[in-house]
Every structure is written in C-alpha cells, then in structure tokens.
Amino acid sequence: MEIFLSLRTTGLIAGVIGVILLIVGFVADSVRPPEDVVAHADVSTSVVVVQSDFLTISPEGTLSIEGDGDIVAYTARPADAEAWLAEVDYTEVNSLPDWEALGTRDVAVPSPTPSPEPSSSASASASAAAEDDAKEESPSPSPSPEEKESSSASPSPSASPEPAIVPTEADPFIATEGRSTDLWRNSFIATNRLDIAVDSVPTGLTLVVMTEDGSALTGTDLSLTRVVNDDWITPLLWWGAVLVVVGLIALVVLFIDLRPAQARGESWMASRSADKKGIEKDGSRRSRRAAGAAIPQASLDDAPALTADAATPVDGAEASVDAESSADASSEPEVDSADGGPQAESDSASGDEDPHGNADSDFSDSVKADDDNVNDSTEGGPDDGPAPDGTEDRS
Amino acid sequence: MRRMTVVAMAAAGAAVLLAGCTPAVPVAGVAEPVEVTAAVTDDQSDRVQSQTFEELAVADEAKSTKTLDVRVGGDAKVVRGAEYKQQSADDGPKPDVLPSDMQAVYVTSAETWPRVMVGVSDQPSEDTTPVVSVWVQDDVDTPYQFRNWAHMVPGATLPAMPGPTVGADELAMDSTIGEDTLQSYVDNYLELLRKGEDDDLNETFAEDSYRDQLFTARGVLTAAAKKADGKYVDTVEPEEKSTYALATADGGALIFAPLRIDSSFSVEDAKVSVPAADEPLVDGDLVDKVTHEYRDMVVMYVPPADSEDLPAVVAADHHLVRVSPDGAK
C-alpha cells in the first residue's frame, strides 16, 4: 500500500515536472531567434567598399547593394582599390555591431576635388540634360526636373560632348569618368539591386560597388546564418510530454477505488510475510528439515547390515565407511552438508520417496547403488582420498 | 497568481537558456591572401592586349594615328605615325607587323605606379623575329598603354621570368646587380654606342646586331660626309623616365630602355637629299644639312651577379620618326 501510494505520488510529481518542461520548451521554441539573418545599413554615397576581411563574417552569405539604375561591382587587389578610392567619397562596410545592423564608415576625399558625380539626377535623363546644357551653354550643373524632362524629350545629337557608354554585362569594364578600369579583376552588374554571393568574390580582393551614373546608393544588406544551439528544445518537449502523461495516469488513478485490489494485494503480501516468519507448508523441504527426518544418520553400527545386503566386497563397504568417517571427521554438520552440496538432490529424492524417514533402506539402496561407484573409485586405491561424489552418495 | 509565477519563471528560464545558446555576433577574420599577386591577371592582360590591337587595327586601316588614343601612346604612337607616312609614299614600306598572339606575357607584381607589362609575340614571319611589346600604366586612373616595341635580336634568347600568377618584381633603375646599378648598364651601353666598337666597353657586352648596324651606318655616313667636305654627327640619349626593369627568374634583370638618336649629316656647297621612302617624314626644306630623328627601343638582359654571361641586348629597333633640316624640335 505504501509502495503504491509512493508510485502515485511520484507520478504526480513527474506530471508537474512535465508541465514545467513543456512550458519552458514552448516558451523557448516561441522566442527562438531565426537562423537566417539579414544585416542592413543605409548608405548615401555612390561608392561602397567591402574589404575581403569583412566578407569572412559570412562566407556563404550574400551581399546586396541597392540603388537606382545600373549598379556595378568590381574586385581589385587591396592596394589597387585603395589607390583608386583615394579620389572618391565612399562608404566602407566594415563591421557587424549586432545581428541586424551593418557597421559602416564614411570616407571623404581629404582635399577638395571635383566631384565624380555629375548630378544626383536619374541616369536616364542626366546625359540628355548634360547634352542640353552643353548646347545651351548653361552653367547650371543640376537642372530642374522639368528641364530634364523636356531635354530628354528632344535631345540634341550634335551637342553631345561625350558618347553615353555605360558598363554592360557583355563589357562591364568601360571606363567611367575618364578613369581606367584596368585594375578591376571581376565584375558584377545589375539594375536597382545587385546581389553578390560572397563566395563568388575571390579571396583577398576588395569589393568596390558603384552606380554607373554616379548617383548615390541607398543601402546594403548582408545575409548571415546564425547558428542557434537549440537542439535541446525538442527533447525537452518530448520529455515534458512523457512526464505529463505519467502525471495524468497518476491523477486518474487517484480517482479510482482501488481498495479491493489493495485487499488482494495485502493478503498476498501477508502470505509472503508469513513464509518469512517460519510457517512452513507440510512436505516442504523446509518443514522436513525442521523435523530433521531427512537428515541421514550414518553410524558404524549400521555397517554389518550394509555388509550383509551388499553384493559388493566388504572392502568396498569399508572404503565407504572410511569415507563417511572421513566426512564426519571434517566436522561438517550433516544437515548443512546435505543442503549445501550438489548432492542435496539425492537426499531430497530419497526423502520424497519416503517422507517418513525409512532412511536406512534408502540409504542401503543408495549405498548399494553407489558401491559400484565406490569400487570404481577405490580401484584407484584408498589413498585417492574421499572423492566428493563418493562422500555425498554415501551420506 | 502561482500559475503566473510559474509561467514567468519558465519564460525567464527559457530566455536565459536561449541567451546562452545563441552565438555571439561574428567578427571579421583575416581573409586568405590573394591568389594572383601579379598586378594583372591573365584576363586583365588579355583585355589590355585585345583592346590595343583593336585600336591598332582601326588606325592601320585608316593609316592615321587619330584613333590611337586609349591603348596606344608614347613612342609607339609616334613611330606608328611615321610608318603610316612612309607607307603613303610611292612604294613606301608597310608598317611593322605587330602580331596580337603572344607566346609570353611578363607582368609585374608592383603595387605602385608606373607599372609595366611586356608581351613577346609569336614570330610574324620567317624573315622577322618576334616582337617585344611594352605596355605602361602611369597611374591607377590611366589605362595600360602600348608604348614601345622592338624586334628580338636574331639569335638572342629572353631569360626566364616569374610566372603570371606571381608577377615579376619591378626594379628601380638604381637597384644593383653585383656592384653596378641597372642605370649604369644602360649608360655604359649608350656610351659604347657613342664611342664605337673600338671602345673597351665593347668587350663588356655580348655581341648584338643592333649596335653593329649602328656602327656600320655611322661609318658609311661619316665617310660620305667627309667625301662631300661635310660632317656626320650622331647623338644617343636615354629616356630615363621611360626606362623600366623587371626582375628575371634567375636574379638578373630585363631592362626596357627607350633611346633618342639624332644623326646629322651636312655637306659643303651641296644639297642633301633623302630616300623616297623617307621623304614623307621630311619636315622643312632640306639644303645642306639633314637630321634624322629616331625613337629606338633597346631591351637588355643583365644576368645575375654570379653569372659569367655578359649583359646582352636581346631586342632592339631603330625607328625613324622625323627628318628635318635643323635637328630635333
């Protein structure tokens, strides 16, 4: 009864623990941060630079740059890129302060130089506007949108100072602003948004991204993979569920009348405890032992009878007796010897056949039967000693 | 109330657990070094070469240097222009054939400017040796420009150079091989050109056909001038600012030295004339004096200090660019 109660109590406790584990698991699952992260930064320059070291943050990620119009990215040796960047304002993406933000650094040309950006207007109308300006010899570097609209509607082919050559995927290495492109090794080009797989940028090279028309870029993203060590959440939920089930079972048992079963269990337990207290059943080995009937009493006085019945030579009987004597000499209690040795079966067998203790006849039979054994064993000579088999059979 | 407490504690515990399991924001490491340390990769040099020969092809077609703007400049543009003029004369010589196929391209590993790139072409024909072409990039904003070329001296061999992945070190002209600076090798060779084959310096350089032809022409013109009571004088000057050197694989150097050579021929009481092929190059009226201006290119190999080989001119060309009555402008 106590055990049963303790099991039920344990089950209830397990259920409570299961509920706690489930709560922790579900809460952890709900607040688990996403593995795919995109860090972002706004930029306002026409050139964005990413050093090769920074790209090691997300070797399998994707770097994206957004802007209006055609966006071109080039790679170059760091020394070459540094020399090229000496004459432009640019934004360097250089750190990851947290998972959602990119750290940037704006670098301006130290000395006043002519801006590489002809206009902040859209590229489609900028060249036409410049052409119109050239034709009209207008000193205004940035015409109004209306002017750009009108000029783009009727461009003057004869007034164009420079052909409008822009980088394309077929030939991305077109010199812009009169600057050489011989330093660039790889190129990436897209419109409005340029996605570059980080692993497509050769190691050790600096990535320089710019707009084709010199307009400002608007933003840059870097996709990252955040490895969250959340392998424990699912097992936690499973263990919680199992424990809750155990607790529920214990709870159900709490409301079931188990007294009949308890009574049967108690009587069974009582019978078990009665055995433990020494109430032996009739005919049981324990009861026979308690009565002492099954304990063979070997004595030298029985020897003649044994000799008369025995079909074997006296020497064999004598050897048997000697062996018995020798066994007695070992001062082992006979009962213990019968119980403890492997020959206990022969004892009990004879006891079962004659539970009232006709031990002598049985003993004679067994000795008769064993005489051969004794002879056999004595063939080797009495000095062989009391072989265990011979000793036990005789007892 | 108790339930709320349990939930709150569970949430806090979960948050703490997750905070411990969420990795820190990664920081930038150190990227692998650049695989191709040379200043230009094969793709880049191919791009430069193809644009150069496209530009040359257009100019050759038009027989004009007006379109030689981005990829061709310097002495190459001047010499090519002179060749176009000579070609315009009756039976004038055709411009040098400059093969676009290269059997080797030598690039520098320099991270400063100017930078040099050298191409060794296939042999244009059986009668002509391969052409050594030199491109120079003055700074990061200017393109590699084809500046000079010279045919290899018959029998000469160019030394082994570092591969295109690594690139060759670009050597300053005051750097030394043994005890002598690279500039001193150039100066000694020019001194030999000025003094002639009888000078002791003749023994310090391996034989080459370039100076043999120069000495032969000098002898002939000197004798002709003397016969006409005239005078023949030639001057040889280096263009040090346009002289470049690349380290060879064996520790020597390959020097690319442009030269200016003026040869003045004058006679007494007579009028000089020039061959018909050179007449398109005449700038002015020739009377008793004529000066030929040449833009030459000499490629010299200086072996390493422990070598027993002599410095040798392995490629050189003698390009006439102008003929004038009064010398160089």
- DSSP assignment of A193-211 equals EEEEEGGGSPTTPEEEEEE
Best probe of the A interface among B51, B138, B140, B142, by most A CBs < 10 A, is: B140
Residue B63's alpha-carbon distances to B60, B67, B77, B101, B131, in angstroms, are 5, 10, 12, 22, 21
Q: How many A×B Cβ pairs under 8 Å?
A: 123
Q: Which of B25, B34, B39 sits opposite A98 (nearest CB)?
A: B25
Closest of B135, B75, B25 to residue A228, by C-alpha: B25
State the Cα–Cα distance between residues B144 and B40, nearest whole angstrom.
Answer: 10
**Is the CB of B4 inside 8 Å of chain A's CB atoms?**
no
* Domain assignment present for B2: no
**Is the CB of B58 inside 8 Å of chain A's CB atoms?**
no
- Under an 8 A CB cutoff, do B28 and A23 touch? no
φ, ψ for residue B297, nearest 5 deg: -135, 125
| Chain B residues closer than 8 Å to A93 by CB | none
B278 lies in which domain range? 42-324
**Is the CB of A230 inside 8 Å of chain B's CB atoms?**
yes
Which pLDDT does position B174 carry in this prediction?
A: 96
Q: What three-state secondary structure class fits A154? A: coil
Which pLDDT does position A291 carry in this prediction?
A: 66
**pLDDT 10s digits, A322-351:** 434 443 434 443 434 334 333 333 343 333
Count of domains for chain B: 1
Which pLDDT does position B137 carry in this prediction?
A: 96
Which residues in A161-245 belong to E strands, given as ranges? 187-197, 206-211, 217-225
* CA-angle at B145, arms to B105 and B126, nearest 5°: 50
Considering only the C-alpha atoms of chain A, give the largest distance between any 2 of them, rounded to a whole number of Å.
Answer: 156
Best probe of the A interface among B25, B49, B71, B116, by most A CBs < 10 A, is: B25
| Chain A residues closer than 8 Å to B29 by CB | 53, 56-57
| Chain A residues closer than 8 Å to B18 by CB | 28, 31-33, 228, 230
Q: What three-state secondary structure class fits A301? A: helix
State the Cα–Cα distance between residues B62 and B229, nearest whole angstrom.
Answer: 43
* CA-angle at B273, arms to B270 and B279, nearest 5°: 155
Q: Where are the alpha helices (DSSP H) in A31-122?
A: 52-55, 78-85
DSSP string, B216-232: HHHHHHHHHHHHTT-EE
The yes-or-no verdict on residue A130 having pLDDT over 50 is no
Q: What mean pLDDT is predicted for residues A258-277?
A: 78
Q: What mean pLDDT is predicted for residues A179-184?
A: 90
Q: What three-state secondary structure class fits A229? A: coil
Which pLDDT does position B308 carry in this prediction?
A: 93
Beta-carbon contacts of residue B243 (< 8 Å; ≥ 6 apart): B173, B183, B186, B255, B256, B257, B258
State the Cα–Cα distance between residues A119 and A117, nearest whole angstrom.
Answer: 5
| Chain A residues closer than 8 Å to B22 by CB | 33, 226, 228-229
State the Cα–Cα distance between residues A334 and B263, nearest whole angstrom.
Answer: 142
**Is the CB of A226 inside 8 Å of chain B's CB atoms?**
yes
* Domain assignment present for B32: no
Number of other CB atoms surrounding residue B151 within 10 Å = 21
Cβ-count burial B58-75 (b if 16+ within 10 Å, e if not): ebbeeeebeebebbbbbb
Q: Which of B17, B33, B144 sits opposite A28 (nearest CB)?
A: B17
Q: Which range (A150-154, A168-172, A241-245, B84-88) has the least confidence?
A: A150-154
The yes-or-no verdict on residue A164 having pLDDT over 50 is no
- Under an 8 A CB cutoff, do B28 and A94 touch? yes
Residue A172: pLDDT band with limits 50, 70, 90:
low
Who has greater pLDDT, A361 or A231? A231
- Under an 8 A CB cutoff, do B28 and A179 touch? no
**Is the CB of A188 inside 8 Å of chain B's CB atoms?**
no
Helix-strand-coil split of chain A, %, nearest 5: 50, 15, 35
| Chain B residues closer than 8 Å to A205 by CB | 34
Residue A198: pLDDT band with limits 50, 70, 90:
very high
The yes-or-no verdict on residue A205 having pLDDT over 50 is yes
Closest of A207, A209, A178 to residue A194, by C-alpha: A209
Residue A288: pLDDT band with limits 50, 70, 90:
low
Closest of B318, B323, B315 to residue B292, by C-alpha: B323
Q: Is B122 left (phi over 0), alpha (psi -120 to 50) or beta?
A: beta
Residue A55's alpha-carbon distances to A59, A102, A211, A231, A299, in angstroms, are 6, 12, 21, 28, 102
**pLDDT 10s digits, B45-79:** 999 999 999 999 999 999 999 999 899 999 999 99
**Is the CB of A33 inside 8 Å of chain B's CB atoms?**
yes
What mean pLDDT, rounded, does chain A reach?
Answer: 67
Q: Which range (A41-45, A274-278, B260-264, B306-310) has the least confidence?
A: A274-278
Where chain B has pLDDT below 70, the residues are 1, 3, 6-7, 10-11, 13-22, 327-329
- Under an 8 A CB cutoff, do B30 and A56 touch? yes
Sheet holding B115-121, edge to edge: B102-107, B115-121, B131-137, B145-151
Which pLDDT does position A382 carry in this prediction?
A: 38
pTM (2 d.p.): 0.68
- Under an 8 A CB cutoff, do A24 and B10 touch? yes
**Is the CB of B29 inside 8 Å of chain A's CB atoms?**
yes
| Chain A residues closer than 8 Å to B17 by CB | 24, 28, 232
Residue A1: pLDDT band with limits 50, 70, 90:
low
φ, ψ for residue A154, nearest 5 deg: -140, 75
Q: Which of A95, A205, A227 sits opposite B23 (nearest CB)?
A: A227
Report the Cα B322 to chain-centroid distance in Å: 21
Q: Which of residues 57-76 of A touch B (CB under 8 A)?
A: 57-58
| Chain A residues closer than 8 Å to B37 by CB | 77
**Nearest-CA residue of chain B relative to A29?**
B14
φ, ψ for residue B260, nearest 5 deg: -115, 120
Beta-carbon contacts of residue A352 (< 8 Å; ≥ 6 apart): none
* CA-angle at A7, arms to A5 and A13, nearest 5°: 105
Could you tell me what percent of chain A has a pLDDT over 90? 30
**Is the CB of B19 inside 8 Å of chain A's CB atoms?**
no
| Chain B residues closer than 8 Å to A78 by CB | 34
Domain positions in chain A are: 2-32+230-271, 36-113+122-225, 298-394
Which pLDDT does position B327 carry in this prediction?
A: 60
State the Cα–Cα distance between residues B131 and B152, nearest whole angstrom.
Answer: 6
Q: What mean pLDDT is predicted for residues A52-59?
A: 92
Q: Which of A56, A97, A173 sits opposite B31 (nearest CB)?
A: A56
How many residues in chain A? 395
Which pLDDT does position A383 carry in this prediction?
A: 41
Best probe of the B interface among A32, A82, A104, A182, by most B CBs < 10 A, is: A182
The yes-or-no verdict on residue A301 having pLDDT over 70 is no
Closest of B38, B253, B50 to residue B164, by C-alpha: B38
**Is the CB of B35 inside 8 Å of chain A's CB atoms?**
yes
State the Cα–Cα distance between residues B38 and A185, nearest whole angstrom.
Answer: 11
| Chain B residues closer than 8 Å to A33 by CB | 18, 22
- Under an 8 A CB cutoff, do B22 and A228 touch? yes
* Domain assignment present for B110: yes
Which pLDDT does position A277 carry in this prediction?
A: 60
